[in-house]
Every structure is written in C-alpha cells, then in structure tokens.
Amino acid sequence: MSAKKSQNPDVLPQHIAIIMDGNGRWARANGRIRHAGHRAGVKATRNIVEAAAERGVKALTLFAFSSENWNRPREEVTSLMRLFLEVLQREVDALDKNNIQVKFVGARNELPERLQKHLAAAEKKTATNTGMQLILAVAYGGRWDILQSVKAVATKVEQQQLKAADIDENAIASNLSLAGMAPPDLLIRTGGEHRVSNFLLWDIAYSELYFTDTLWPDFCDQDLDLAIDFFRSRERRFGRTGEQVRVSADG
C-alpha cells in the first residue's frame, strides 16, 4: 500500500493499536507448521516495539490473543499459552532496561495460573518506567471490555453511589481496560482482512484505520512508517467540517 502525500508531516500518532494477523498464513506459505508462524510473529513484535519506541510513539497496544481465539484447536491454544510464557520470561528484562512500561488487558482469570503470575510480575517490574507504554491484549474482546464496564457502573447504581440519570460516556470510559489513556490515533491491521474483530470497540471510535496485506511476520519498520505516513495524510475532523479543522489549526 502506498501512502498519500502527508498533510501533517510532523504529526506522529501518540497511540498506535495493532491487530497482528497472518501468522498461520505465513507459516502455510512457507511450508511450516502454524506454531512456526507464531514464533516468527514474536520476532516481528519485538522489532515493531523497538521501532515504535524509537519513533517516539507514547503507547502501543497489541492484540495478542482474543476472546474468540479460545475456540481454536486445543493444541494451538496450549502452544500459544506456552509461547506467551516463554516470551514474557525472556523479554521482560529487556523491556525494563529500555524504560518501557508493560500493561496487560483482558480476562486474566481465564489464563493459566502460571501465566497470570508472570503477567503481574512483568507489570510490577516495569510499573515505574517512563518510556513507551506497551499494552498487550490477551484473552481480550471489545464486547467483553464494554460489558465489564457496564457491570461496574451497574454496581455503583445498586450501591447508590451513582444515579442512573447521571450515567454518561465518561462513566463507561472510566471503567474500560484503557481507562485514563488517550484512545488509539491509529489502528493497523496486517494480513489483508478489513475488519476490527472485536478489538477496542469503544476506544477506536475515531481512530484512523490502516489495512495492509502484509502478513504479521513480514511486517517491518518500513511498513510501520507507511502506516504512519497514511495517518499523517488524514484530516482528523471528529465530527467537525474540514474548514473548522483548518481554521482551528491556523490558530
């Protein structure tokens, strides 16, 4: 995909979210088993985390394992859980050394207990880091996220801490997984599919959406730069007219 001419050459998306799709198809295309594709995807992930941090991105949210992925073959799910644990144990020191703060979002109680402990340990170890925030969505679904928030708000109503008439968007947003964070400016999906697959449904309401045919294991620095160039070519209006946006930009 070629990028359009940048309207805002100096603008950088502060928060990028990525649906990392295509590991299995990469493995098939290269005559490998699916697990080899997931391992190749780990290498791409490490590279993109480094590239995003180098470019000054403030937050990077990666869709690592969705709520629906539990429906995959049992052997593949088990293999993925082992791979997550292995990667955590191997990479957390390097992330900490590079001042990256790690956060996990999703239904942790559904994950293997050992993995849950390592997720918590990685968060604790990097909690005071001030560099890029790396958010990994594991056992995550956008509908699940909204449902958890609605339940939290309903509990406050039951306990008479909140009136139903006072429920607004802020009440919902403040109980979502990414509460307190700026929403993603740019959502990237690799692998050729043009859908959001239940990822950050609330948060990406005004994200720019970038789709590429590149399979995740092949996604590299140059592909990230193309996505950023695409973002820079967009006029972000947030419901306003283009003229309003330009007048506001002119000060």
Cα(37)–Cα(17) distance, integer angstroms: 21
Catalytic residue among 47, 69, 98, 129: 69
Report the relative pairing of strands 133-140 and 186-189 from DSSP bridges.
unpaired
Cα(216)–Cα(133) distance, integer angstroms: 21
Taking the CA atoms of residue 240, residue 243, residue 249 and residue 251 in that order, the dihedral angle to the nearest 10 degrees is -110
- Chain center to CA of 138: 10
What is the token pair recorded at 24?
Answer: 């299995």
Cα(159)–Cα(162) distance, integer angstroms: 8
Nearest to 62 by CA among 174, 184, 146, 164: 184
Cα(144)–Cα(115) distance, integer angstroms: 20
Taking the CA atoms of residue 139, residue 145, residue 151 and residue 156 in that order, the dihedral angle to the nearest 10 degrees is 120
Question: What residue type is assigned to position 110 of the chain?
Answer: E
Is residue 175 among the annotated active site residues?
A: no
Is residue 213 among the annotated active site residues?
A: no
HSE-up of residue 213 (Cα within 13 Å, Cβ side): 2
Catalytic residue among 8, 10, 21, 30: 21
**Contact residues for 81 (Cβ-Cβ < 8 A; gap 6+):** 111, 112, 115
Give catalytic residue positions.
21, 69
